[in-house]
Amino acid sequence: MKVCSRSDLETLRAKGLSTLYPSRLKVSVGMATCGLATGAAAVYDTLRDEALQRELDLMLVATGCLGYCQQEPLVEVRMPGRDRVLYARMTADRARELIAALAEGNLPTEGALAIIPEEKEPPAGSKPAGGLPRLNELPFYARQRKIILRNCGLIDPTSIEEYIAQGGYEAMAHALLDLTPEQVIDEVLRAGLRGRGGAGFPTGRKWQVCHDAPGQPKYVICNGDEGDPGAYMDRTVLESDPHSVIEGLTIAGYAIGAHEGYIYVRDEYPLAVERVTQAVARAQELGLLGENILESGFDFNITIVRGAGAFVCGEETALISSIEGGLGEPRPKPPFPAISGLWGKPTVINNVKTLATVPVIINRGAGWYAAIGTENNAGTVVFSLVGRVANTGLVEVPLGLTLREMIEGIGGGGLNGKAVKAVQTGGPSGGCLPARLFDLPISYETLTQAGSIMGSGGMVVMDENTCMVDVARYFIGFTMAESCGKCTPCREGTHYMYEILTRIVEGKGTPEDLDLLEEVARWVKMASLCGLGQTAPNPVLSTLRYFHDEYEAHVEEKRCPAGVCRALIRLAIVPDLCNGCGLCRRECPAGAISGEKKKPHTINPELCTRCRICYDVCPVGAIEIVR
């Protein structure tokens, strides 16, 4: 079938609705990368086998990521006419029980997290099963507003029909059939959408420049390189709702007059590559990509490029060079890609989330979008809330929420009830902000002023067990390894900063080292060629600013307050607490622990590498870190 008109879209929509809301039992398993990492595949297989064995008629589907990764594997059950129930932390055993219950016609409440109210006319008088909370009432979801993640975890990412059933490709049809490119640009401009890749440049303005730039052909590129190590927003969108990105990219192409688009996907995301490839092929098959889309006269094709493991390729000029077959080496700007990009032609490059937002803006209008968030910071942002926080997951909130509402409200505070010390946003380009700044509202400007950046959405929470000097060294180690090596400040400067920080964590630092570190950091920030070098010092500068006491403890007292830096700590077993179970002895990778069964064990400091594995495994907490 070829989709030639809006009524053809309606046909697909009906088909999508029939699988989204079937008239028989439906069980969905979250099978994005996170779900798979915690055993979703085994759960899926068990559900299938068990249902087969019990001859239970059910529709079993793999969906994407709902965002509440802390509770993965997540399984959602929909009985026709009843609210959907979401089960958390599913295991193969519990999957078996679930099928048994379902076979009896029961919807068990045990192990259920919440219900998802049926948007499709819930039957009058239906009550949430077993007094369970609604999903959007859970503290994790209450402050969230899903625009970018609107379909993630709700639809089958391999079904274009389900995407269409949720209103997908309507915006593209509207843009191509009813709007001029100028009107599309104007809508995006008035919506106040800013780039979600990190820098927050107004998307409409970028499109306008490229639209006006002389030169043909033009190109649009979706930046799915997501290099921030510790963040996975873009992966989720690409895996769980690939068509939203394809639709956004096509609209962008129409707006600027490009007929060729690229989606550049990070190499470490094989499932995202697979999903996007499949989605593009499907859209092509249906004529939603290709020649004369919806008989509008507009042609558009998409090529998928898989990255190859280089953080710097997230930088737009490096990404372009990488597509051209060169090194991922940035070049000086100006000229900006909107004027001279791929093959020297005008090129728009946008982040995954930016593009996924575009269809919603076209559908609901600039005014609707601009009213979300705050002045100059319109709309929503997605954060991957991870690290030492109780609720990890993917969170979408309106701009303007405070860090505290984010970390304590949605995140539920520190891991195991520990006090949160700092939060890191923006990955290797960002900074560490102390808890006392948590009342700052989240916006591009406030985070930059505080010494961090918004970035693409990485948010790593740190507590008293995190050493800020070690964190600074970690990030500089990362940027040093990822520096392309082209320009002097970034190549030589990150290397030298790493040397100084290594001296400090080894207890060999001097007070002069701190001054030198700051001097070099400022220079690298000021003099580097591309954004990688220009932002690489942020983790160092922000920790020097907010956690100077920790640096001083390392340098002056040769002490690591967090008990992390190996050269400055020692591990010891408290004989009175040790029951001689021997677990630590078995797990110690250095063979440093000895002792007889049921007698207190001891650690040989000569052999101990201070990896702290024993500290983690001791069931009775008999091992202490001596700082």
Partner 1 sequence: MINLTVNEQPVTVPEGTTILQAVRAAGVELPTLCFHEGLAPYGACRLCMVSIAAPRHALVASCAYPVEEGLAVETNSPEAVSARRLALEFLLSRCPQSEVIQEMAAQEGVTASRFGTPPPERAEELCVLCGLCVRVCREAIGAAAIGFIGRGMERRVGTPFDIQAATCIGCGACAEICPTKAIKIEDRGNKRILHTWHTTVELHKCPQCGKLFAPEPMAFLGEMFPEIEEQWALCPECRRARTAQQWVEQRFTSPA
Partner 2 sequence: MPLIPQPPPPAGGALLARLHAINAEYGYLPEEELRRAAEELGVPLSQVYSAATFYAAFSFQPRGRHTIHVCLGTACYIRGGEKLLEKLESTLGVRPGETTDDRAFTVETVHCVGSCSMSPVMRVDGDTYGRLRADLLPRILRKYREQEAGGVSDEGM
Ligand X SMILES: Cc1cc2nc3c(=O)[nH]c(=O)nc-3n(C[C@H](O)[C@H](O)[C@H](O)COP(=O)(O)O)c2cc1C
| Residue 480 interacts with, from ligand SF4, partner 2, partner 1, none (CB under 5-8 Å by kind) | partner 1
How many positions of this chain bind ligand SF4 (CB under 6 A)? 27
The partner residues of 386 in beta bridges, in order of sequence, read 460
Three-state DSSP at 384 gives strand
Cβ-contact 145, 99 below 8 angstroms:
no
| Residue 231 interacts with, from partner 2, ligand X, partner 1, none (CB under 5-8 Å by kind) | partner 2
Nearer to ligand FES, 233 or 573 (CB): 233
**Residue type at position 106:** N
**Residue whose entry in the numeric block shows the structure tokens 């280089």:** 310
Tokens of 336: 């900006």
Question: What is the C-alpha to C-alpha distance for residues 428 and 460, in angstroms, rounded to an integer?
Answer: 11
Question: What is the C-alpha to C-alpha distance for residues 495 and 264, in angstroms, rounded to an integer?
Answer: 29
343 sits near partner 2 (criterion: CB under 8 A): yes
214 sits near partner 1 (criterion: CB under 8 A): no
582 sits near ligand SF4 (criterion: CB under 6 A): yes
Which pairing describes strands 260-265 and 301-306: parallel, antiparallel, or unpaired?
A: parallel
In whole angstroms, the minimum distance from the beta carbon of 529 to partner 1 comes to 5
Question: What is the C-alpha to C-alpha distance for residues 490 and 249, in angstroms, rounded to an integer?
Answer: 33
Of the listed pieces 190-198, 224-232, 239-247, 525-533, which binds ligand SF4 according to CB under 6 A? 525-533
Cβ-contact 581, 572 below 8 angstroms:
no
> Using CB under 6 A, which of 76, 156, 239, 316 touches ligand X?
316
In whole angstroms, the minimum distance from the beta carbon of 181 to partner 2 comes to 23
Angle at Cα 382 formed by Cα 562 and Cα 17, nearest 5°? 140
Q: How large is the C-alpha radius of gyration of the chain?
A: 26
Question: What is the C-alpha to C-alpha distance for residues 221 and 262, in angstroms, rounded to an integer?
Answer: 5
> Using CB under 8 A, which of 76, 226, 396, 550 touches partner 2?
226
Question: What is the C-alpha to C-alpha distance for residues 245 and 259, in angstroms, rounded to an integer?
Answer: 16
> Using CB under 6 A, which of 66, 102, 193, 423 touches ligand FES?
66
| Residue 208 interacts with, from ligand X, partner 2, ligand FES, none (CB under 5-8 Å by kind) | none
| Residue 92 interacts with, from partner 1, partner 2, ligand FES, none (CB under 5-8 Å by kind) | partner 2
Question: What is the C-alpha to C-alpha distance for residues 90 and 116, in angstroms, rounded to an integer?
Answer: 17
User: Binding pattern to ligand X, positions 415-454, x when CB under 6 A?
Assistant: ----------------------------------------
Binding residues for ligand SF4 restricted to 446-485, rule: CB under 6 A? 483-485
| Residue 226 interacts with, from ligand SF4, partner 2, ligand FES, none (CB under 5-8 Å by kind) | partner 2
How many positions of this chain bind partner 1 (CB under 8 A)? 32
Contacts of 323 (CB under 8 A, 6+ apart): 221, 262, 264, 305, 342
> Using CB under 8 A, which of 14, 609, 620, 626 touches partner 2?
609
538 sits near partner 2 (criterion: CB under 8 A): no
Distance between alpha carbon 306 and the CA centroid of its chain, in Å?
Answer: 18
Binding residues for ligand SF4 restricted to 480-499, rule: CB under 6 A? 483-487, 490-491
> Using CB under 6 A, which of 245, 256, 462, 584 touches ligand SF4?
584
Tokens of 584: 């630590």
Cβ-contact 263, 257 below 8 angstroms:
no
Binding residues for ligand SF4 restricted to 287-316, rule: CB under 6 A? 312
86 sits near ligand SF4 (criterion: CB under 6 A): no
The partner residues of 462 in beta bridges, in order of sequence, read 422
278 sits near partner 1 (criterion: CB under 8 A): no
| Residue 314 interacts with, from ligand X, partner 2, ligand SF4, none (CB under 5-8 Å by kind) | ligand X
Of the listed pieces 30-38, 41-49, 285-293, 309-317, which binds ligand FES according to CB under 6 A? 30-38
Question: What is the C-alpha to C-alpha distance for residues 233 and 222, in angstroms, rounded to an integer?
Answer: 14
267-305 as b/e, with b when 16 or more CB fall inside 10 Å?
eebebbbebbbebbebbeebbbbeeebbeeebebebebb
Residues that bind ligand FES (CB under 6 A): 30, 32, 34-35, 65-69, 72, 74, 229-230, 394
Residues that bind ligand SF4 (CB under 6 A): 312, 330, 483-487, 490-491, 528-530, 532-533, 573, 578-584, 601, 618, 620, 622-623
